[in-house]
Chains A and B, each alone.
Chain A
Amino acid sequence: MLENFSFRTITEYLPLFGYGFAATLWLSIVSFAGALAVGITLCAMNLQRSQALKVPAKIYIDVIRATPLLAQLYFLYFGLPRLGVVLPELFIGILALSLNSGAYVAEIIRAGILSISRGQVEAGIASGMTYFQRMRLVVLPQAFRVTIPPLLGQAIVLVKDSALLSLISVSELTRAGQLLASDRFMPAEGFITTAACYLALYYGLKTLAASSERWLRLRPTGNLK
């Protein structure tokens, strides 16, 4: 039973968990920035008329969505050295997370852009705006508002997915739990503390998503003033 649950051991390992928490946090932030870059590029390719740009983006998105992140991670982890690219595990992890989340981000942004009614674009054309002016001044400011809540949802998924990096021995939160579990044979203490740390991140992001939604609802046409 769990009656000998040792809080003292957890306090002993607290610095390790603090380090893991910080590592998960910053590697998630870096990966999310990477995912945004990948996603915006893919989405821009996907919205072009030229098939040469559109088809590769579509194939990439479908392949990423139909295969597990763990297989993608191992693909890079075992595959990159084969190509002569030797990177530390941490970089491989961040790369895998960015490439994986990027496909989902691309779909979110595309849905946001397509949600802008055709009339807005036509009005832009009628006012003599160029493609980039229409995008920058009409479509993107409105699409931006629609995409914020689902993007934060994707950020939550990314933070949770980053736990898989522990399997290629990146030292982050789950790894900290594994260390405590194997050093002291205390899996309960290790993994419950890990879970609690992830829950803290989850509730933080969830509150942010809820408040952003409220903020956006209060200013339905804020950018059109």
Chain B
Amino acid sequence: MIWQQLQSLIGSYPLALRGLAMTIALSLLSLILGTLIGFFLGVLRTKGNRLIIRVIGAWVDLIRGTPFLVQIFLIFFILPELGIELDAFTAGIIALTNLAACFICEIVAAGIRSVPTGQVEAALASGLSQWHRMRQVVLPQAMRVALPPLVGQYVLLIKDSSVVSAIGLTDLTRVGWLVVQRVPNGLLVFAIVGAGYFVVCYPLILLARRLEKNMNAAHGEVQL
């Protein structure tokens, strides 16, 4: 019995590969886009004018305060009503990128705020332009604080990409859902699905921990 199930599971490996490819494509694309937009918004959030800061803050709150599932439904079902036709993949990318950008914006903003004002003043006194102050003085130091939560955010993003299966994208979780209809062994099927996520996410979690440890050690050095 279990042997037959295993055989039929092995038979569905092309589907599993497609699901894995979909999960990787979704996570990677939205991770890159989200990081770029998030950094941009994060800098604006600390340095932009007051109106921009307010608008970004309100948007971030809106995204943080609603479940990701509801955001996906809103994007997938409402953008077409506004005249923007989009397929499930684009909707998934938009939703994930938006989510990532909002959280990364907060992480980057917190990193920038953690840089002591003296550093900026010293850069000002050395006659550095605003761009150079940001790029050469503030951001390198902000990155040190921002990096561990940033990696943690990537883990969350990969995990959240499973929710797009709700609008019919065949990602890893959806594949599990499809396979379990044919092979009625939920424990086995979803243990394999979980293992698929685990091999990607766990190294990242370890990396985040390592970065955090290194950061604490480095800070200790500075304080000496």
Contacts and interface: CB of A to CB of B under 8 A. Distances in A.
A181 B190 contact: no
Nearest to B206: A62
B77 interface: yes
A74 B186 contact: yes
B206 to A, nearest CB: 9
- Of the listed residues B70, B83, B163, the one surrounded by the most CB atoms of chain A closer than 10 A to its CB is B70
B67 A160 contact: yes
A13 to B, nearest CB: 16
B187 A82 contact: yes
Interface stretch (B31-39, B135-143, B177-185): B177-185
A62 B197 CA distance: 12
A194 B70 contact: yes
A146 B222 CA distance: 26
Given A63-B194, A68-B159, A74 B65 contact: no
B180 A63 contact: no
Contact of B70 (A69, A75, A188, A191): A191
A187 interface: yes
Nearest to A199: B65
B77 A187 contact: yes
B194 A70 contact: no
A75 B62 contact: no
B69 A164 contact: yes
Nearest to A166: B69
A202 B177 contact: no
Contact of A78 (B67, B172, B186, B198): B186
Given A74-B177, A187-B78, A160 B66 contact: yes
Interface in B146-195: 155, 158-163, 165-166, 172-173, 176-177, 180, 184-187, 189-191, 193-194
B178 to A, nearest CB: 11
Interface in B30-70: 61-62, 64-70
Given A75-B194, A174-B70, A66 B201 contact: yes
Interface string A57-73: 00000110111111110
B74 A191 contact: yes
A175 to B, nearest CB: 11
A134 to B, nearest CB: 26
A194 B69 CA distance: 11
B205 interface: yes
A203 B194 CA distance: 33
A32 interface: no
B202 interface: yes
Given A68-B173, A164-B163, A77 B186 contact: yes
Given A77-B186, A163-B67, A198-B66, A70 B81 contact: no
- Of the listed residues A68, A181, A188, A206, the one surrounded by the most CB atoms of chain B closer than 10 A to its CB is A68
A20 to B, nearest CB: 12
A52 interface: no
B177 to A, nearest CB: 6
Given A67-B194, A71-B173, A83 B187 contact: yes
A77 B189 CA distance: 12
Nearest to A81: B186
Identify the 6 closest CB pairs spanning chains A and B, nearest first. A78-B186, A202-B65, A163-B67, A187-B77, A79-B186, A75-B190
Given A82-B185, A202-B64, 8 more contacts: A2-B78, A68-B158, A68-B162, A74-B176, A74-B177, A163-B68, A174-B69, A202-B61
Interface of A: 1-2, 62-63, 65-72, 74-75, 77-83, 160-164, 166-167, 174, 177-178, 181, 187-188, 191-192, 194-195, 198-199, 202-203, 206
15 contacts: A2-B82, A65-B155, A70-B173, A71-B162, A75-B187, A78-B190, A82-B184, A164-B163, A167-B69, A174-B70, A177-B73, A187-B73, A195-B66, A198-B66, A199-B66
